[in-house]
Amino acid sequence: MAPQVQIIGVADMPEVHPGDDLAALILEAVRAQGLDIEDGDVLVVTQKIVSKAEGRLVHLRTVEPSPQALELAVRTGKDPRLLEVILRESRRIVRQERGVIICETKHGFVCANAGVDTSNVGGGVVSLLPENPDQSAERIRAAIQEKKGISIAVVISDTFGRPWREGHTNVAIGLAGMSAMKDYVGQTDPHGYVLRVSTMAVADELAAAAELVMEKLSRVPVAIVRGFDYQRAEGSAQELIRPRERDLFR
């Protein structure tokens, strides 16, 4: 029997506002489409609606730029208030060149602008990454588990660029209910050779797969991945962060 995985977009989610019960909104949108969430599903939820529900929004008019932000504004031509927000979200700047600011966020993720985003929010407001995306994932997981009596995994996804390759892909920034990795290290292949390179970052692959049904401009901020055989665990997107001392490119 051929292994199969289905990726089902959850469309027609309402606009999300601070304080909204995201698990309830997702379940409602799923039901409205005649779908259901099943035991063993992986729910992939885009960061943007999580940040909105958690009120991780900043009105730029309330932001007082620091001297460092003002200096960075001169070098990049960007809004100093936006830069101030980016600096507050960052542990450090990894690279700043040609208008691109690659940051290490307080969570440890390396990405442009520390994940601070001006799109899909509204005039003069920027969204920040969730404060603790693993906890965000766990809250959704626990709420759905409680309401439906099923075990699922939840991935919070965001759109990141990467070195060496053009374009962006969706990756996991929060995780609950599964291990981020699928591990082949030490196993032997059919020829008896020990496989060397085989820890797959399946949480990132799930986020990327889900993006295939998420249209950035339509309202598909959630996808159900069904049929993927994952390793149940508490799980954390921190598993995906390479420690700085083991990273050849920081």
Instruction: Report the sign of the C-alpha dihedral through residues 171, 247, 102, 110, in that order.
Output: positive
Is 176 near its own copies (CB under 8 A)?
no
The nearer residue to its own copies, 66 or 238, going by C-beta atoms, is: 238
Q: Which residue in 24, 216, 232, 234 binds its own copies (CB under 8 A)?
A: 216
Least spacing, CB of residue 82 vs its own copies, in Å: 11
What is the layout of strands, in order, in the sheet containing 222-226? 153-160, 42-46, 222-226
Is 241 near its own copies (CB under 8 A)?
yes
Cα(131)–Cα(141) distance, rounded to whole angstroms? 17
Q: Which residue in 31, 122, 146, 231 binds its own copies (CB under 8 A)?
A: 122
The nearer residue to its own copies, 105 or 136, going by C-beta atoms, is: 105
Of 65, 70, 49, 59, the C-alpha closest to 219 is: 49
Cα(170)–Cα(159) distance, rounded to whole angstroms? 4
154: Cβ contacts below 8 Å, ≥ 6 apart? 42, 43, 44, 45, 137, 138, 140, 141, 144, 174, 175, 176, 177
How many other C-beta atoms lie within 10 A of the C-beta of residue 5? Answer: 12
Q: Which residue in 84, 177, 204, 221 binds its own copies (CB under 8 A)?
A: 204
Is 77 near its own copies (CB under 8 A)?
no
Give the distance, in angstroms, between the CA of residue 24 and the centroid of all CA atoms in the same chain: 20
Cα(78)–Cα(99) distance, rounded to whole angstroms? 8
* Interface pattern 21-40 for its own copies (x via CB under 8 A): ------------x-x-----
Least spacing, CB of residue 60 vs its own copies, in Å: 13
Is 239 near its own copies (CB under 8 A)?
yes
Q: Which residue in 78, 88, 91, 95 binds its own copies (CB under 8 A)?
A: 95
Q: Which residue in 103, 153, 175, 181 binds its own copies (CB under 8 A)?
A: 181
Please name the amino acid found at residue 20. Answer: D
Is 67 near its own copies (CB under 8 A)?
no
Is 170 near its own copies (CB under 8 A)?
yes
Residue pair 15/124 in contact (Cβ under 8 Å)? The answer is no
Least spacing, CB of residue 234 vs its own copies, in Å: 17
Instruction: Report the sign of the C-alpha dihedral through residues 208, 210, 213, 214, in that order.
Output: negative
Is 193 near its own copies (CB under 8 A)?
yes
Q: 36-61 b/e with 16+ CB inside 10 Å = b?
A: ebeebbbbbbbbbbbbbbbebebebe
Least spacing, CB of residue 6 vs its own copies, in Å: 6
Is 200 near its own copies (CB under 8 A)?
yes
Tell me the window of 72-80, 128-136, 143-151, 161-169 that interacts with its own copies (CB under 8 A): 161-169
**Token pair in block for residue 59:** 């009105």
Is 171 near its own copies (CB under 8 A)?
yes
Instruction: Scan residues 1-20 and list those touching its own copies (CB under 8 A).
Output: 1-11
